Structure formats: structure tokens, C-alpha cells
Amino acid sequence: MDKGASILKRRDLFRMIGAVAGSSAMYQAMTSLGLAADSQYAGPIKLQGAPKGTKVIVLGAGWAGLVSALELRDAGYTVELLEYNNRVGGRAWTIRGGDTITELGGETQKCGFDPGLYLNPGPWRIPYHHRGYLDYAKRFGVALEPFIMVNYNAYVHSDAYFGGKPQRFREVQADFHGHVAELLAKAARQDKLDQAVSKDDQETLLEALKEWGALDKNHAYVAGHDSAERRGYAVNKGGGLMPDPVGGPPIALADLLRSDVWRALTFGQTHQWQSTIFQPVGGMDSTPKAIGKSLADITTLNAKVTAIHQDDHGVTVSYVDARTGKDQRQAKADWCVCTLPLTVLSQLDVQVGAEMKAGMNALSYFTAVKTGLQFKRRFWEEDDHIYGGITFTDLPIRQIAYPNFGYNAPGKGVLLGTFAGAAPGFELAALSAADRVKLAVEQGARIHPQYTAEFETGVSVSWHRSPTTMGCAAAWTPELRAKHYRNLAELNGRVILAGDHLSNLVAWQEGAILSALDAITRLHHRIVAA
């Protein structure tokens, strides 16, 4: 496996620099895509002066629809909420034992998880700065617990390197930083950084590199106490007459580069994934369920929207029973907040302007596959000492994420055995759910051999086979955004769209919340002004 010739291409070097420098360059690139933006939540919304008797129909009871319906209802509007699924929450969904999942194509899975265990097949974490989400969780009394993004003892796995043996994140990170610090220290001591760093600053830089990279007194990164304090000991510290601690040899820089394991280092450094991150206790559906409960009297489940028509006087939404395709009904309102995914909306009979239609048609959704696996025991904790967090691999399953609750308890556990997107995501999405589970077990066993003996049951969700979303989330590009974003977000006659697809936080619940708050605020101002 000689990838040596290609290892230090400029692209890789930049990425490497990103990993070293706290990924400021990558961060900048991400900001330009709107991905690293902080939430602009400005506190609970206050809509005053709603005209009596004005009715708004809200389509879709995911986060955007729930927030819209809740806040408009509380502002004094008459609200009707239609939802395709037999539940609220949309992608903010939790699968538990006894649940039945039917994907497009007709394959049905019955989840066999034990009580208390679950899979969040959609969103699964809430950054501390998603203030809209946190506010709704607080308002509706939903308890949160920490989501572990970075676990130093989880693995980074390259199937083709290190004999396929997974490496500990702490070792990969310490060794990568150590080697890079040593290289920079060498350059500084050979006066090769004179133009970039003043003579005085070079002394400080050397001191900082020694500290940051865990270098020894000669500015070398080698086996020993300094490096072991970061990467961990080969023989751990003990008591009494136990053996003295021993630091293991670092992984060679060339192996770190060639194996690609360094790519795992920046995940927890990007803004959306920086500590602290939360998850709702008991599953991601907790908050939408609580909001949905307060809207039960105005919600119609199992409603498949077939047409959205509008004229000068109002909006007419046609829908059928989603389970039978029959029982055609019409709902009339003065205004409509439509949160349906664009993959679905673009296929319906919708009376909106040509520019909005062009946007609906142009935006496709990226794919994602998640697979949850139940094991007889929490071997990742008992044997491998991994409590929560994520293992990264170059196998198609991409990630193994360990449960962030129930630590150190005896008994069973459910982990996330696959989280795949891009090309591997499609390759998995094209498999039956049964085969996705099988593949997750087979591939995961290359990292945790205990899989084979301990596996009990699994469920898999392919978001392109989701009857309601037909994809994971909107695949915006800067070009698409420049051309279509405003046309999709502006009020179009009596219809306004909302959802995470109309935010700079695509695929985050916060994006749906902010989009909804912004859309209903503009709608309200338009109504009041009339």
C-alpha cells in the first residue's frame, strides 16, 4: 500500500495545517458555506395584534411546523396543522422496541430493542449555542444530558493500515501534534521561520511547541514521560509495588499521514461540534412530542397533502389519508406555512410563482444511513473502556457511536453502528434494511471483534427511503443558494415556506426553528399590515 508519492499534496497539507492550527482555515471555509454560523435566536417570539379569525394552515409537523403552529396559535391565530406521519417530529425521531418502520419499497422492520434503549435515526445532538432549541426544551420541561463528541479513548480505524488494528484517538492526536510540533521546532531552530516570526517570538514559539506537542527537552517527540502524559501509557500508573509506568513508542508520522487517521482530529473542533453538546434524555423525539401534545386539538395526522392552491382570498390544501390514499379532503385557510421537504413539495400540485418552483425543483437532498445495533452487553465499556463518543473508520459504516447514557451499567446496550453519507451512503441506502444491519455487524466486528458473539438485533434507516423526506437534508451549494434561496424563502402570495432547508443550519433542528420563527414573523407583519 504505497500511497507515499501522493501523501504531501498541497490539499493534504492544508488539511493537515487545519488539524494543527485548530482548523482555522477550514473553519473559514465552512463559515463561507454558512455551516459554522452561530444561532441568531433572539429569545421567545412575540407576535402581537393578530386579527381575530385569521386562519393559518401549517403543513408538516416537524420542528418548523410545530414551532410555526405553536407560536401562531399562541399569538391568537386559528391554526390547523397537517402531518403525513402517524406522529409529530419529522426527522427528530426516536426508534424504540416495538416500533414498526416501513421504508419506501415496502420493507418493514420491527424494532426489537429492549426497553429504555433506542436509536435517534435523524438529528442526535444539540450544540450549546443552538439557543432556540434549548429554549423550547426548557419551556416544555425536556431534560438534557451531555452528548460526547470527542472521546480520547475511542478509536480511529484505517482498514488498510496498522494491520487493520484500530488506534486510540488520544494516541493519534498526541502523536500527530507531537510530530508536527517537532518539525516546526526544528524549522524554528534552523532559523527557517525568520521571516514569519521575530527572533524574540521564536523563543516563545519553541516553548509553546514543546508544551503543545509534548516534546522533550531537546524538542523531540519520542517515547517517554512527556509524550505518555498525552497519548497514554503502555504500562499504566499503579500503586504499591506495581510496575513502573512505561510510555509506548509514538506512531510514525508517515504512518499517520498515509493512513488518513489524522482526518479524525478536527471533528470536535468545528463550531457545531464543540463542547458542550447535548441530547434529550430518552430520545430526540422528546421535545417535538411535548410541543405536539399541546397542539393535539389542531393536528391531523396521516394527512398526505396532494395540492396547495391559492387565490386572492385564501389557500386551499387538498389531502388524503396517507394510509389508504383515499378520503380526499380540503382545508381552507387565509395563509399557509408549508414546511414540507422540497423533495416532496416539488412533486405536488402547488400554485406558487415560477421562481419558487424553479428553486423547489433544483434542490436535491443528500443521503444518510443510520443503523442501530443492540448487543447483549456493553463490551465497548467493559472491554475497551470507551464511554460514549464516536469511533471513526474508513470502512463504509464510517462511524460507530456509543450510547451517551447508562454508563457502566450491566446489561444490554444499543450503539449507532453506521452513519454514512456521500457515495458510501448511497451504496448502503441501496441495500435492504436487513442487509444494512448485516453489513454494520460484519464491518463493526473488524473494530470490535465482540460484535460477532454479542449482537442481538438491529434497525436501519435509509433517509432516501423515508416516505416523508425522500433524502436526508437539502444539498445547498453556494451557487444554488445564490440563485434560489431568497425565492424560496420570500412569501409567495399566501404561502410561505419554512424548514431547515431555508436556513444556514441545514439538517440541524435549530435551522428549522430559526427558519420557522423568521417565516412566521414576516407572515405576521404582512397580515397585520394589510
Site for another protein contains 31 (CB under 8 A): no
Q: By the 8 A CB rule, do 137 and 287 touch?
A: yes
Query: Min. distance of Cβ 143 from another protein in angstroms?
Result: 21
Stretch that binds another protein, among 394-402, 409-417, 446-454, 491-499 (CB under 8 A): 394-402
Within a 10 A sphere around the Cβ of 129, how many other Cβ atoms?
16
Query: Min. distance of Cβ 356 from another protein in angstroms?
Result: 14
Pick from 113, 169, 278, 366 the residue near another protein by CB under 8 A.
366
Site for another protein contains 305 (CB under 8 A): yes
Stretch that binds another protein, among 99-107, 109-117, 408-416, 489-497 (CB under 8 A): 99-107
The Cα–Cα gap between 31 and 272 comes to: 11
Which of 183/430 has CB closer to another protein?
430
Q: What residue type is assigned to position 205 of the chain?
A: L
Site for another protein contains 260 (CB under 8 A): yes
Judged by CB under 8 A, the number of residues near another protein is 78
Query: Min. distance of Cβ 26 from another protein in angstroms?
Result: 9
Q: By the 8 A CB rule, do 333 and 314 touch?
A: yes
Site for another protein contains 33 (CB under 8 A): yes
Site for another protein contains 475 (CB under 8 A): yes
22, 146, 248 from 227: Cα distances, Å: 20, 29, 9
* 402-431: contacts with another protein (CB under 8 A): 419-427, 429-430
Pick from 41, 124, 136, 375 the residue near another protein by CB under 8 A.
124
Query: Min. distance of Cβ 89 from another protein in angstroms?
Result: 15
Quick one: 74 exposed, middle or buried, by C-beta within 10 A (0-12, 13-18, 19+)?
Answer: middle
Torsion angle, alpha carbons of 408, 410, 414, 419, to 10: 30
Quick one: cell of 45? 417570539
Query: Min. distance of Cβ 142 from another protein in angstroms?
Result: 18
Three-state secondary-structure class, residue 181: helix
Transcribe 214-259 into DSSP letters: T--TTS---SSHHHHHHH-EEE---STTSPPPEEPPPPPHHHHHHH
Site for another protein contains 134 (CB under 8 A): no
Binding mask 307-326 for another protein (x = CB under 8 A): ---------------x----
Pick from 54, 158, 299, 404 the residue near another protein by CB under 8 A.
158
Site for another protein contains 362 (CB under 8 A): yes
The Cα–Cα gap between 470 and 436 comes to: 18
Count Cα neighbours of 312 within 13 Å in the Cβ-side half-sphere.
0
